[in-house]
Amino acid sequence: MTARIIDGKAFAGRVRAQVAEHVERLKRDHGLTPGLAVVLVGEDPASEVYVRNKGRQTVEAGMASFEHKLPADTSEADLLALVRRLNADPAVHGILVQLPLPKHLDAELVINAIDPAKDVDGFHISNVGLLATGQKGMVPCTPLGCLMMLRDLHGSLSGMNAVVVGRSNIVGKPMAQLLLGDSCTVTIAHSRTRDLAAVCRGADILVAAVGRPEMIHGDWVRPGATVIDVGINRVERDGAARLVGDVHFASAAAVAGAITPVPGGVGPMTIACLLANTLTAACRAQGLTEPKGLTA
Ligand code: GUN
């Protein structure tokens, strides 16, 4: 058996096209242009690449992009003042503070200073609580992208056994909440889980988000299972730099029913969902009905 390869790049392209269509309609019928502000502190090269891609895709979707690049030695007071200004700016519907922040800045404090209605990352403590209680809020982009792909593949997820490997606040925990919201039986496994291989073999849906290159092998995968690989790990192979996931792709693809590749799987969905969240936030801010299929 060979798994169906889930084309995240194509899926993300369709999500972005849907977002762009809604943006066009909002401009035409309501004179509303959704706006996303991205704040980058310091010069982390990976973050600069992300921020550039976010800005470009925001503009391509027809939305307004506001980039704020601050020096690495920016004070907490100055960063908080910028967040407050963006909170008060009616042209800004989404605010994203790029992580990681330089060490002298308290990321939790800064994230929780963002207006929860503009928190398109879904990291604010209010949004975490809303997700946990099944209320409407902003949902973290990467898990939302995974959920969209799973719904597209399976329709209903009700009653399926889902195992999430990894317990981060950004992916593992919100992913588990979303799967629970779709009536899966959810296990959160992690580095201390006893007999992790056996736990993984119980999964109809296996989500890998641990940040350990190729940790999950094919013999951990139940035949026919859906494998979602959130990992993006830079490794050196035969003298060349390569990106690999948390799943050993070749062995897992021989067993799984469907699997996301790395790159080209979950990765492209994250920015697509950021655009979707910005659109959703803009609609809610104006009291307009939010688009279907782009939210949890
Ligand atoms: N750094 C890497 N990924 C992300 C993300 O999704 N949001 C934020 N704010 N920072 C990140």
Question: In the numeric block, which tokens belong to residue 14?
Answer: 């369709």
In the predicted model, what is the mean pLDDT of residues 271-279?
98
* Per-residue model confidence as pLDDT tens digits over 160-182: 999 999 999 999 999 999 999 99
Judge whether 121 counts as a catalytic residue. yes
**Nearest CA-CA partner of 288 in 51, 108, 22, 37:** 22
All CATH 3.40.50.10860 domain ranges of the chain, comma separated, are: 28-128+270-284
All CATH 3.40.50.720 domain ranges of the chain, comma separated, are: 141-268
* Per-residue model confidence as pLDDT tens digits over 190-231: 999 999 999 999 999 999 999 999 999 999 999 999 999 999
| Ligand 1 atom with least separation from CA of 140 | 6
What does the alpha-carbon distance between residue 206 and residue 202 come to, in Å, rounded to a whole number? 9
Give me the percent of the chain exceeding a pLDDT of 90: 100
| Ligand 1 atom with least separation from CA of 142 | 6
One-letter amino acid for residue 204 of the chain: D
Judge whether 54 counts as a catalytic residue. yes
Task: Kindly state the helix (H) or strand (E) to which residue 176 belongs, with its residue range.
Answer: helix 172-181
Q: Which residue owns the Cα nearest ligand 1 atom 3?
A: 99
If one residue of 47, 51, 99 were mutated to test the ligand 1 pocket, choosing by the most ligand atoms within 8 A of its CB, it would be: 99
**pTM of the model as a whole:** 0.97
Q: Who's near 215: CB < 8 A, 6+ residues apart?
A: 208, 246, 247, 248
Q: Which residue has tokens 């790029």?
A: 98
| Ligand 1 atom with least separation from CA of 96 | 9
Q: Which residue owns the Cα nearest ligand 1 atom 2?
A: 99
Distance of CA 87 to the CA centre of its chain: 22
If one residue of 101, 170, 266, 271 were mutated to test the ligand 1 pocket, choosing by the most ligand atoms within 8 A of its CB, it would be: 170
What does the alpha-carbon distance between residue 130 and residue 222 come to, in Å, rounded to a whole number? 33
Average pLDDT, the chain: 97
CATH superfamily of 28-128+270-284: Leucine Dehydrogenase, chain A, domain 1 (3.40.50.10860)
Q: Which residue owns the Cα nearest ligand 1 atom 11?
A: 99
3-class SS at 263?
coil
What does the alpha-carbon distance between residue 74 and residue 70 come to, in Å, rounded to a whole number? 6
What does the alpha-carbon distance between residue 189 and residue 204 come to, in Å, rounded to a whole number? 15
User: What is the helix, strand, coil percentage profile of the chain, to 5?
Assistant: 40, 20, 40
**266 has pLDDT over 80:** yes
CA of 170 to the centre of ligand 1 (A): 8
In the predicted model, what is the mean pLDDT of residues 83-90?
98
* Per-residue model confidence as pLDDT tens digits over 25-55: 999 999 999 999 999 999 999 999 999 999 9
* Per-residue model confidence as pLDDT tens digits over 132-147: 999 999 999 999 999 9
If one residue of 49, 50, 110 were mutated to test the ligand 1 pocket, choosing by the most ligand atoms within 8 A of its CB, it would be: 50
Q: Residues enclosing ligand 1, CB less than 6 A?
A: 50, 96-99, 121, 141, 270
Judge whether 27 counts as a catalytic residue. no
Q: 3: which DSSP letter?
A: P
CA of 199 to the centre of ligand 1 (A): 29
| pLDDT at residue 258, rounded to an integer | 98
The class of domain 141-268 in CATH terms is alpha beta
